[in-house]
Amino acid sequence: MKNGVRMSDIARALGVSSVTVSKALADKEGVGEELRAKIKATAEQMGYSYVPTIGKLAADCTGTVGAVIAQRYTKPEHSFYWSMSQNVIQSLKKARHLGLIEIVREEEESAGILPPFANTGRVDGIIVLGTMSTAYLKKLHQTGLSLVLVDFYNDEVPASAVTADSFLNSFRISSYLYQMGHREIGFVGSLWANSGIQDRFFGYCKALLVHGLPYYEDWILEDREDDNFRQTFQLPEHLPTAFVCNCDQTAYHFIRYLQSQGYRVPEDISVVGFYDYIFATMCDPQLTTIYVDLAAMAEEAVSAVFRLRNGPGQAETITVKGKLVCRDSVRRLEPM
């Protein structure tokens, strides 16, 4: 907007809708070339300045996608989602699409206030990075735009989802601890936090079941409080010899806490993580973990948006494979 001129002013001057004006200025389909030229000429005459990436650069792009991230995930301790957002933008650029990012404040999520681009016809779909409330996701779905969830899923919302294969990979890394001689294994993760942690917990449980290992409730530790990662942990009286952490960041804080309490890793307690994100190599010792290709997750999310837009609209769940990365945070125990 320039000199107080809005899209609605241009629309009123030409007798068209604001959506038509938005599409014309963004070089999107659905507007005839003659009308598009007229709208742009009128906008220029009225002193309206539209964003170049939507106007000038859009001619070389095949679509526009809005990425949504909750403000709670913009804190430094949640840098994983900032990294994921950068991967999404790079994937969009690689596929010749434009990307818009909207940070949603907690009060906006609670009140169901959608991003400005959700109802303007400027985007072909929305990618949600990180868990958001079911009510908010339902409002996003009601816009009729292609909706893709990244790093979580929600069975109450008919949206596509792109996740790491949390269940299988958690089973594998838990089984790796068994192969390394561990017979007492705990889990660190707040099960209420998101679907990914729940799936990793169930993968851990399957490993205990398959290998005939004991399960104790006090070996399941909370790792976060009010969306913040814990720096301290409630350790059980009898510690297992190993812990499966739901993510590398949790493992980083958990290892530091164990060390502050006089425990050695891995000599006294072995610890593993998930994602092979930056915290895996910040750990001392460096972390045995599951590598997940974040760039591949972003590319899958971008592809899923346009499959929903161009296809029959069938939501799908895409899982990205991971692989075990062995470092120094696990000690081999002699079989009992």
Mean pLDDT over each residue of the chain, to the nearest integer: 89
> What does the pLDDT look like over 156-168, one tens digit per residue?
999 999 999 999 9
Using 50, 70 and 90 to split pLDDT, how confident is the model at 21? confident
Residue 202 has pLDDT above 50, yes or no: yes
User: Across residues 52-80, what is the average pLDDT?
Assistant: 71
> What does the pLDDT look like over 170-193, one tens digit per residue?
999 999 999 999 999 999 999 999
Please check whether residue 287 is in contact with residue 273, taking contact to mean a CB–CB distance below 8 angstroms.
Answer: yes
Pull the structure tokens for residue 21. Answer: 């004006």
pLDDT of residue 32: 85
- Phi-psi bin for 93: left (phi > 0), alpha (psi -120 to 50), beta? alpha
**CA separation (Å) from 30 to 11, 33, 192, 273, 318?**
15, 10, 44, 48, 31
> What does the pLDDT look like over 27-37, one tens digit per residue?
677 788 888 88
pLDDT of residue 77: 65
Please check whether residue 250 is in contact with residue 189, taking contact to mean a CB–CB distance below 8 angstroms.
Answer: yes
User: Across residues 199-207, what is the average pLDDT?
Assistant: 98
User: What whole-number distance in Å separates Cα of residue 153 and Cα of residue 132?
Assistant: 10
> What does the pLDDT look like over 88-112, one tens digit per residue?
999 998 888 889 999 999 999 999 9
pTM, two decimal places: 0.79
Residue 60: CB atoms within 10 Å: 9
**Token pair 């989602």 is at which residue?**
81
**CA separation (Å) from 75 to 69, 118, 174, 229, 298?**
11, 24, 30, 11, 21
Residue 51 has pLDDT above 50, yes or no: no
Residues near 254 by Cβ (< 8 Å), separated by ≥ 6? 188, 221, 223, 233, 243, 245, 271
> What does the pLDDT look like over 264-310, one tens digit per residue?
999 999 999 999 999 999 999 999 999 999 999 999 999 999 888 87
